[in-house]
């Protein structure tokens, strides 16, 4: 009886073979590349690697919806940018405010409440909000092949982590239900917290101050700070993941670095070097120079998203 394919949504070919070959050699007793389970650390970016990220990062859509929900308590937003454009649905107006405007939106919608209240808001949003193109809820825009890869690695003794530039508390609210990755294995950009007693009960309050930007060079910092071990397996999709892949492959022994290349305009989106979201330029060149594995989404994946729920 043939063994069941652990990666059924991956087309047979060099990419799938490289993944399976790596897992086999690091988990096979007696192999010169054998790695004991405690060191089988696998890290994954989230946006564009585990779920989609176009036309803007999904957490930004969350922030826009939160601005609209909180607007009655902030009448000044009607005449103040970037909130004025956000309330009007004016993407060009918001873009004109640049990074400063984006930070203001995120700060206003991600602080001032307890961690429990924020998680409640996120869970309510991911269960109801829908993507403007696919009309799926956002947690159904995860990549079926990557879900299979996460399960495959865990079945082979790996511990899987998310290491993302996205908000840590935002991802922790739903990552376990969607990816099977518990909150303590989710590393992201985070703000400062403050311990308080409210009505005699201890709470943690989210402050409008950044503690860690877990992107680019911040990713190896986050890995060291929260995991304390260098990964042996890493997957990303953009230049924001370049340093994480460099860090992972700089260790001794067998190492795996992978990039998801968005090449499928029909089933998903096609973008790389010129994209303002998820730009894949310098990391793509380094992948070619260092023989990192590049997943061609159009060629390597049989399906993109999981089957839609009725």
**Residues contacting 9, CB < 8 A, separation 6+:** 144, 145, 148, 301, 302, 303
Q: How far apart are CA 53 and CA 170, in angstroms?
A: 15
Share of the chain above pLDDT 70, in %: 99
User: Is residue 197 over pLDDT 60?
Assistant: yes
In this structure, whether the domain defined by 14-53+141-300 belongs to CATH 3.40.50.1000 is answered with yes
Query: Band of the pLDDT at 95, cuts 50, 70, 90?
Result: confident
3-state secondary structure 265-308: CCCCCECCCCCCCCCCCHHHHHHHHHCCEEEEHHHHECCCCCCC
Query: Band of the pLDDT at 246, cuts 50, 70, 90?
Result: very high
Task: Tell me what the pLDDT averaged over the chain comes to.
Answer: 95
Per domain, the residue ranges of the chain are 14-53+141-300, 58-126
Average of pLDDT values for 51-69?
95
Could you tell me how far CA 52 lies from the centroid of its own chain?
9
Helix or strand or coil: residue 89?
Answer: coil
Could you tell me how far CA 231 lies from the centroid of its own chain?
17
Q: How high is the pLDDT of residue 287?
A: 98
- Residue 231: how many other CB atoms lie within 10 Å: 29
Average of pLDDT values for 46-72?
95
Average of pLDDT values for 217-239?
98
Average of pLDDT values for 91-107?
86
Closest CA to 44 of 175, 141, 132, 136: 175
Please name the helix (run of DSSP H) or strand (run of DSSP E) that holds residue 81, with its range, or none: none
Average of pLDDT values for 178-183?
98
User: Is residue 3 over pLDDT 90?
Assistant: no
Instruction: Please report how many Cα atoms fall inside a 13 Å half-sphere around the Cα of residue 308, on the Cβ side.
Output: 7
Please name the helix (run of DSSP H) or strand (run of DSSP E) that holds residue 215, with its range, or none: none
Q: What are phi and psi of 260, to 5 degrees?
A: -85, 120
Query: Band of the pLDDT at 89, cuts 50, 70, 90?
Result: confident
- Lowest average pLDDT, out of 58-62, 65-69, 97-101, 253-257, goes to 97-101
Helix or strand or coil: residue 58?
Answer: helix
H helices of 71-114, in order, are 83-88, 91-96, 98-110
**Residue 237 near residue 273 (C-beta atoms within 8 A):** no
Tokens of 158: 């790996």
Q: How high is the pLDDT of residue 2?
A: 57
């Amino acid at each position: 009886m043939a063994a069941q394919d652990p990666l059924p949504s991956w087309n047979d070919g060099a990419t799938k073979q490289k993944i399976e070959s790596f897992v086999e050699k690091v988990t096979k007793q007696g192999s010169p590349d054998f790695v004991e389970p405690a060191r089988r650390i696998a890290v994954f970016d989230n946006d564009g690697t585990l779920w989609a990220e176009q036309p803007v990062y999904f957490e930004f859509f969350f922030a826009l919806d939160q601005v609209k929900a909180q607007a009655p308590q902030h009448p000044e937003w009607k005449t103040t940018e970037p909130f004025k454009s956000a309330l009007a649905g004016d993407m060009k107006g918001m873009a004109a405010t640049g990074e400063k405007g984006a930070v203001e939106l995120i700060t206003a919608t991600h602080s001032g409440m307890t961690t429990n209240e924020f998680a409640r808001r996120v869970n309510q949003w991911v269960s109801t909000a829908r993507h403007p193109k696919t009309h799926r809820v956002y947690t159904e825009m995860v990549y079926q092949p990557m879900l299979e890869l996460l399960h495959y690695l865990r079945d082979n003794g790996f511990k899987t982590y998310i290491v993302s530039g996205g908000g840590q508390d935002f991802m922790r609210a739903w990552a376990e239900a969607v990816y099977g990755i518990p909150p303590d294995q989710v590393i992201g950009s985070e703000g400062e917290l403050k311990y308080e007693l409210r009505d005699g009960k201890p709470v943690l309050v989210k402050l409008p101050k950044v503690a860690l930007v877990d992107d680019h060079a911040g990713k190896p910092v986050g890995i060291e700070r929260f995991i304390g071990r260098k990964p042996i397996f890493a997957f990303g999709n953009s230049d924001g993941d370049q340093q994480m892949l460099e860090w992972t492959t700089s260790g001794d022994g067998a190492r795996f670095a992978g990039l998801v290349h968005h090449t499928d305009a029909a089933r998903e989106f096609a973008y790389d070097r010129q994209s303002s979201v998820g730009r894949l330029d310098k990391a793509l060149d380094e992948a070619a120079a260092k023989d990192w594995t590049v997943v061609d989404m159009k060629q390597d994946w049989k399906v993109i998203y999981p089957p839609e729920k009725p």
